[in-house]
Amino acid sequence: MLAGQVIIALAPDALVQLSSGRSTVLVSGTNGKTTTTAMIVASLGGAVATNNGGANMDAGIVAAYASSASSTAVMEVDELYVPAIGKSVAPSVFVALNLSRDQMDRIHEVSNVVERWSRFLHGSDIHVIANAQDPNVVAAVGSHSATWIDPGWDITNDSRVCPRCTALLDWDSSGWACRCGLRQPAADYVVDGDVLHFAPGTSVPLHLGLPGAVNRGNAAFAIAVAQHLGVEADIASRRIAEIDEVSGRYGTITVGGRQARTLLAKNPAGWASVLPMINPDDVVIISINAREADGLDTSWLWEVPFETLGKRVVGVHGENRADLALRLEVAGIVPMVDKDINRLASRLPEGSCVVLANYSAFTALRGRR
């Protein structure tokens, strides 16, 4: 971000100047921005301007534009920054992944983001690629024409009531609907296991190098973007399949003399997506901080379904390890707490090791190899 901060100090309108004449794709949502952005970049062949380090506010985006002369840009954007960044760069495509509670001290309620996105899209000619399963996204898109994705996610904790009228939504096997008329749109792309269906009778495989149903959904958005920009779906799918790590996510680090796979999760919806990636016999370490980048309130830990980890010993690390240890103990898990992750890892049983962390804890651990 430092380069971008310097550029903005010298030229306050740098974002407008640097993005002018380029075709820009903006990617936003509570979860999946960095991974989906990486998938879109890969699907386009990689020769694009992008903030692949995850710096998704104005300074990081300015630095990304400045570092590439490509006529195409793919930028992930913080949810709250979408209107300001969008106004400056005039994107041709906006990808709306999902909206759920995150960093309540900064972002506040989901309705705040819904309203901001709605104002941003109103009256624009941006091509929107959006999540049909998420009522908050659908409400934000409103009457704007969109390509709708059914990503096959089961993340609905923040979508129990209608974002338009606050009545309880009706959910069934065909989707969701509200008595006020807001309902799940018919999807143009549908994820069904390891297959993405689109157009009548057309599909491509989703044999990914990244784990989990959530990443098959992310791939669906990326393939839809690629097709819109002229790349055939099968080519996009093959390129995405080659990704096996994104900014340290799903990579490995060394802790206590053992290799550990790393997973990032930042909020209840993200944790609900990541926990199913844990195998029954995995040795698990969880690291939690509550810095400004994470959100200062750790009450969200009580909304994470840690019970799915079963009755096992879990290593507990991070600045807020006491908060996490209490939550795990209530879930029936035996916490093994230590402020030194190397010592903690060496105390745990032998076996395949997985480290799960929220944002600042994950960033601190990424320097390990």
Report yes or no on 323 lying in a domain. Answer: yes
Residues 236 and 260 in one domain: no
Q: What is the mean pLDDT of residues 6-12?
A: 94
Q: In terms of Cα–Cα distance, which of 296, 318, 314 is closest to 364?
A: 318
Q: Are 343 and 322 in contact (CB under 8 A)?
A: no
Residues 232 and 260 in one domain: no
- CB 206: neighbour CB atoms within 10 A? 23
358: domain CATH number is 3.90.190.20
Position 228 pLDDT exceeds 60: yes
Report yes or no on 49 lying in a domain. Answer: yes
Confidence at 369, pLDDT banded by 50, 70, 90: very low
Position 171 pLDDT exceeds 80: yes
CA distance 192 to 168: 27
Q: What is the mean pLDDT of residues 101-105?
A: 67
Q: What is the mean pLDDT of residues 31-38?
A: 95
Q: Identify the pLDDT of residue 27.
A: 98
Position 265 pLDDT exceeds 70: yes
Residues 186 and 295 in one domain: no
User: Reduced to 3 states, what is the DSSP secondary structure of residue 354?
Assistant: strand
Q: Identify the pLDDT of residue 368.
A: 53
Q: Identify the pLDDT of residue 126.
A: 97
Residues 85 and 183 in one domain: yes
Burial class for 18, CB neighbours closer than 10 Å (0-12, 13-18, 19+): buried
What is the residue-averaged pLDDT of the chain? 93
**Residue 312, token pair as written in the block:** 């096992």
Q: Identify the pLDDT of residue 106.
A: 61
For the chain, the domain total comes to 2
**Residue 296, token pair as written in the block:** 């200062």
Q: In terms of Cα–Cα distance, which of 307, 306, 304, 328 is closest to 317?
A: 328
Position 72 pLDDT exceeds 80: yes
Domain membership of residue 151 as a residue range: 2-241
CA distance 234 to 236: 5
CA distance 178 to 195: 29
Domain boundary among 241, 275, 294: 241
Residues 27 and 57 in one domain: yes
Number of residues that make up the chain: 369
Position 5 pLDDT exceeds 60: yes
203: domain CATH number is 3.40.1190.10
- Condensed to tens digits (0 to 9), the pLDDT of residues 173-223 reads 889 999 999 999 999 999 999 999 998 889 999 999 999 999 999 999 999
- State the pTM of this model: 0.91
Q: What is the mean pLDDT of residues 269-283?
A: 92
Report yes or no on 246 lying in a domain. Answer: no
Q: Identify the pLDDT of residue 107.
A: 60
- Condensed to tens digits (0 to 9), the pLDDT of residues 289-328 reads 999 888 888 989 999 999 999 989 999 999 999 999 999 9
Position 105 pLDDT exceeds 70: no
Token pair 């390891």 in the structure block, residue? 194
Choice between 120 and 1, residue whose per-residue pLDDT is larger = 120
Residues 23 and 93 in one domain: yes
Q: Identify the pLDDT of residue 297.
A: 87
Q: Identify the pLDDT of residue 292.
A: 85
- Condensed to tens digits (0 to 9), the pLDDT of residues 142-165 reads 999 999 999 998 766 667 899 999
Pairing of strands 175-177, 170-172: antiparallel
Domain boundary among 193, 218, 241: 241
Report yes or no on 247 lying in a domain. Answer: no
Domain boundary among 219, 241, 263: 241
Report yes or no on 139 lying in a domain. Answer: yes
